[in-house]
């Protein structure tokens, strides 16, 4: 599943190819993805210039004066800029045609159709984007912020960290890795983690996400870079996916269990 680093990598890959380009047409090969595609996409986008490509959480927004196309890659989606003559394959659901002198399209491919293409009018905030917590790489997110919001909370700190209302884009892999790096047990109640340890945790989240973005994103499968190359690579994961293996820090066996229905690996010796 594309995580925040893959989405940010996609944004950075697309931006130079689509920003400033005028949309000459929109081809919808099916009426829906996860949800119906609103009629504004095909009616209002043609003729508009893409002013910028933005990311909010794991959503991408193509901003135009008429409004913004709001995209989510779901479980298996990808966005690529291709020559318009590139043959359409199964699961190539949407083409946004670009007038950039070389006849190219922004093509949205999504085999499992958990992705979406929605519409946000100018000046509005789509309901999917309301109630989201701050971006993890922004100054609004930090140890003091986590400490303040967590007081009195009994939920496991891992569940707390993965709550999109608390902070966006910290998926299962990154939560497990950040907790390992900060030495915090994923099972500990969020309200029982000290301010100092939240400072370590927030710093770990930022460091790991920034590193993954720098490396081009990591994922389990299915992700394709804007240039068509597989985007997954070996991020040196310390905990995630390594249940039963020796802890990289102390050598004891890493433990695996489900927390909030998500597989979690941690070291009971190093993480308290």
Q: List residues binding Zn ion (CB under 5 A).
A: 247, 249-250, 267, 269-270
* Shortest spacing between CB 204 and Zn ion, in angstroms: 15
91 is an annotated ligand-binding site residue? yes
22 is an annotated ligand-binding site residue? no
- Measured CA to CA, the distance from residue 191 to residue 240 in angstroms comes to 24
What DSSP character marks residue 253?
A: B
Alpha-carbon separation of residue 244 from 109, 248, 253, 264 (angstroms)? 36, 12, 5, 12
Picking from 142, 203, 204, the residue whose alpha carbon sits closest to that of residue 174 is 204
Q: Which of 2, 5, 136, 186 is catalytic?
A: 2
- Measured CA to CA, the distance from residue 76 to residue 34 in angstroms comes to 12
> Phi and psi at residue 72, in whole multiples of 5°?
-130, 135
CB of 79 or CB of 247, closer to Zn ion? 247
* Shortest spacing between CB 243 and Zn ion, in angstroms: 13
Q: Following CA atoms 264, 155, 157, 219 in sequence, which dihedral angle do they give, to the nearest 10 degrees?
A: 40
CB of 124 or CB of 250, closer to Zn ion? 250
* Shortest spacing between CB 224 and Zn ion, in angstroms: 35
> Phi and psi at residue 177, in whole multiples of 5°?
-70, -40
CB of 81 or CB of 267, closer to Zn ion? 267
> Phi and psi at residue 116, in whole multiples of 5°?
-150, 160
Q: Is there a catalytic annotation at residue 80?
A: no
CB of 152 or CB of 251, closer to Zn ion? 251
Query: Which residue of the chain is nearest Zn ion when measured via CB?
Result: 247
- Measured CA to CA, the distance from residue 67 to residue 45 in angstroms comes to 8
* Shortest spacing between CB 248 and Zn ion, in angstroms: 8
Q: Which of 58, 80, 107, 255 is catalytic?
A: 58
- The helix/strand/coil state of 23 is strand
Q: Is there a catalytic annotation at residue 58?
A: yes
Q: Which of 12, 113, 249, 262 is catalytic?
A: 262
CB of 73 or CB of 267, closer to Zn ion? 267
* Shortest spacing between CB 171 and Zn ion, in angstroms: 23
- Measured CA to CA, the distance from residue 155 to residue 133 in angstroms comes to 17
Q: Is there a catalytic annotation at residue 2?
A: yes
Binding site residue list: 91, 112, 153
Residues annotated in a binding site for DNA: 91, 112, 153
Residues noted as catalytic = 2-3, 58, 262
């Amino acid at each position: 599943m594309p995580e925040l680093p893959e989405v940010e990598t996609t944004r950075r890959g697309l931006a130079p190819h689509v920003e400033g380009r005028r949309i000459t047409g929109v081809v919808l090969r099916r009426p829906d993805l996860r949800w119906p595609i609103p009629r504004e996409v095909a009616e209002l986008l043609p003729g508009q210039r893409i002013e910028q490509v933005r990311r909010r959480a794991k959503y991408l927004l193509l901003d135009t004066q008429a409004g913004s196309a709001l995209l989510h890659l779901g479980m298996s989606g990808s966005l690529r800029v291709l020559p318009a003559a590139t043959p359409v394959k199964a699961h190539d659901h949407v083409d946004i045609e670009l007038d950039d002198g070389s006849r190219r399209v922004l093509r949205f491919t999504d085999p499992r159709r958990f992705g979406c293409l929605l519409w946000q009018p100018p000046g509005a905030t789509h309901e999917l984007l309301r109630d989201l917590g701050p971006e993890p790489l922004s100054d609004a997110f930090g140890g003091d912020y986590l400490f303040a919001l967590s007081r009195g909370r009994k939920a496991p700190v891992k569940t707390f960290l993965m709550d999109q209302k608390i902070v966006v884009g910290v998926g299962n892999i990154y939560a497990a890795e950040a907790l390992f790096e900060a030495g915090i047990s994923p099972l500990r109640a969020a309200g029982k983690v000290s301010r100092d340890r939240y400072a370590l945790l927030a710093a770990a989240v930022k460091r790991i996400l920034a590193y993954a973005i720098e490396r081009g994103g990591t994922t389990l499968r299915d992700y394709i870079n804007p240039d068509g190359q597989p985007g997954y690579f070996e991020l040196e994961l310390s905990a995630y996916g390594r249940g039963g293996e020796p802890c990289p820090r102390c050598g004891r066996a890493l433990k695996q269990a489900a927390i909030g229905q998500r597989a979690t690996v941690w070291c009971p010796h190093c993480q308290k």
